[in-house]
Amino acid sequence: MEPIKITSLQDLEQLEKDYPYESLSQFESTYEAIMTSAHLRPGKTALSFFLKGSEYASAHTITYGSLIAHINQTANFFHSIGLGPDDVVAFIMPNLPETHYIIWGGEACCQVLAINPLLESEQIKDLINSVNTKAVVTMNPMKNIDLWPKLEPIIPQLTSVEHVIGVDIAHYVQGLTGPIARMIQRRMRKSITMPAGKTYYNFTQSIKKQHADQLMFDRQFTKDTISSLFCTGGTTGLPKIARRTHANELFNARSLQMMSQSTLTSDKSILGGLPLFHVNGALVTGLVPLMIGASIVICTPQGYRGEDVFPNFWDIIAHFKVSAFSGVPTVYSTLMNYPTKGKDLSSLDAAICGAAPLPVEVARSFQEATGVEILEGYGLTEATCASSLNLLHGKKKIGSIGIRIPYQQMVCAELKDNKVVRICDTDEIGALIMRGPNLSLGYQLEHQNEGLWVTDDNGDTWLNSGDLARQDSDGYFWLTGRKKELIVRGGHNIEPKLIEETMCKHPDVTLAAAVGRPDAHAGEVPVCYVQIADNSQVSDKELLDFANREIQEKAAIPKAVHRVKELPLTAIGKVFKPKLEMQEIEKCVIALAMKELPTVPVTVDVKQDPKYGILANVNLGECDATSRAEFEKTLGVYTFKSALS
């Protein structure tokens, strides 16, 4: 099909009429898609990788021919140790070329389970055991890398794991320290011992023994063949595990390519800074470019958090002629601390943002500095990855999550008892639901699927995102709130229940409610309101100290604990969290006003708005125009909606 620029929802709908999805060429598996791409351009660079941001000019490169050879070897190795279509291999890995071999080679042979390396050992153990994982891959013991120490103590408790596979990283160390690093890693590797019933393998040595030119086994793929198991949460709480198919991943990658097909082509370079255990990193800056033959720049093992990445970011863009990258809001706000003057950003076409709301002022500052508008998008692990995106070639609306992707339906609806009562009118808030080939098979544990699916009068099944939104007259969606009570801190999902259950263990706490406090950098951070027992003398500080001791996940530790006599309740006795969220917004605005407009009698009224959800109405009285404009700019770095009068 000819490249098409989608500039509106009408263009997208016309594309769907002209090219029905069933008429498009289809791959059966992610392996077939990558293999086809590699055979077309074996000598082209597929992956570039560097350990530190300052080492970008001497990056290691892997061609497409080498990539598919390593994927074949990895798949054949997994098959050789007894893994098949119904078996699971888990990876607990940073971003490395080997991580790509493991993901795509694993999907060719069996199923892969992506595990966040930031999780604690107990959480990792529970995830691995919950899906009867047969093999697990992580980093070999190495100084300053904590992955093996996390895995080693729980190996005896991994009931179904038969194979433990270690990956070396020392061969990427450059200069005079390279031989020393490799010697240290060899020495540390020799100390590895396995309990009875489990076998250790060195990844590099093991795959070298395997055939590189083809898969040495037959594999059948259907539309329901599971490719991967990805966790829905961030760093806190035991995440739910979504079962995704090859068809899901291929469809989502294809639909995203179609939304930007006139720009995203095989001669482009994509920067991969998001973690590969996350669906965005694995699909948007993983499968999509590999399917079309573009080059991926793997930006350090820690991604954007890697050493010297941000100080060298604009030079990395220029050196590799990067055309697009994807990040969370904190990436963009941090980048604004590094000047772009004198940097060659002419190759940069698109910057994509998701996982958390993007502050208006951050979007404006980025565009002023780079000349590139940020494309905000929206997605769910349960829907493979992306479900909507602002248009590369069309209108971009700051604060909107864009229009739906091709061939996927997405609407706002009124729901009752897992039924679609009606589709909402334009600009009417409703539950955000979607249906299409990107919908996963649901969660691994069946009882967790309760409420995930809803049906309409035609008997069609829709995915209930748990978010509230409205759709404007141009077809753009705007998130207005969340039915699922997550706190999104810098793109990480925090389950309030984890905080609340821990705080309720304190003898003086009778009830707890954790909500998000607006934060200029992270979007929001957790705070906790606690109802204390009568006659209790416990202080806020004592409660905060308790939280710091008892909550294992650092991201979930509340920034503040507030004692209250009574928490606000609904008519049925449930804690009414929107009131607490509105209190936090009001406190934020008042604190900003006291700092920036100390002589102005500012009043704030935070209410539920039928169009915008929670809205802060800020009255600045007789404030002069210059001060008013500056204060509006200050509010723009926050994600809550505000209106000045």
Question: What is the fold, at CATH topology level, of the domain defined by 487-575?
Answer: GMP Synthetase; Chain A, domain 3 (3.30.300)
Edge to edge, the sheet with strand 613-619 lists 603-609, 613-619, 641-644
- Report the pLDDT value the prediction gives residue 641, as an integer from 0 to 100: 85
pLDDT at 1 (0 to 100): 57
Q: Which residue has the higher pLDDT, 184 or 472?
A: 472
* Residue 76, pLDDT above cutoff 70: yes
pLDDT at 232 over 70: yes
CATH 2.30.38.10 fits 408-482, yes or no: yes
Of residues 292 and 356, more confidently modeled: 292
pLDDT score for 386: 93
Within 10 angstroms of residue 309's Cβ, the number of other Cβ atoms is: 22
Evaluate if residue 306 carries a pLDDT over 60. yes
CA angle 344, 347, 353 (to 5 degrees): 105
Q: What is the pLDDT of residue 235?
A: 43
pLDDT at 337: 85
Each residue's pLDDT tens digit, 110-138: 999 999 898 888 889 989 999 999 999 99
Mean pLDDT of 375-386: 92
The domain defined by 9-389 folds into Rossmann fold (3.40.50)
Q: Which pLDDT score, from 0 to 100, does residue 610 have?
A: 66
Q: Return the higher-pLDDT residue of 579 and 161.
A: 161
Give the pLDDT mean for 501-526: 85
Cβ density class 334-368: b for 16+ within 10 Å, e for less: bbbeeebeebeeeebbbbbbbbbbbbbbbbbbbee
pLDDT exceeds cutoff 60 at 236 = no
pLDDT by residue (tens digit) across 246-294? 999 999 999 998 887 666 778 899 999 999 999 999 999 999 999 999 9
Percent of the chain with pLDDT over 90: 54
Other CB atoms within 10 Å distance of the CB of residue 468: 17
The answer, yes or no, to whether residue 638 has pLDDT greater than 80, is yes
Q: Which band of pLDDT confidence, cut at 50, 70 and 90, is reported for residue 26?
A: confident
Which sequence spans correspond to the domains of the chain?
A: 9-389, 408-482, 487-575, 579-644
pLDDT tens by residue, 558-613: 999 998 888 887 655 567 888 888 888 998 988 888 888 888 888 888 887 767 77
Average pLDDT over residues 323-343: 87
pLDDT of 642 over the 60 cut: yes
Give Cα 380 to chain centroid, integer Å.
9
How many alpha carbons lie under 13 Å from residue 341 in its C-beta half-sphere? 2
Mean pLDDT of the chain: 89
* pLDDT(627) > 90: no
**Contact between 526 and 557 (Cβ < 8 Å):** yes
Rounded mean pLDDT, 538-559:
88
- Centre a 10 Å sphere on the Cβ of residue 12 and count the other Cβ atoms it contains: 22
Q: What is the mean pLDDT of residues 143-148?
A: 86
The per-type count for the chain, helices as H runs and strands as E runs, is 18, 30
**From CA 515, how far away is CA 500, in angstroms rounded?**
10
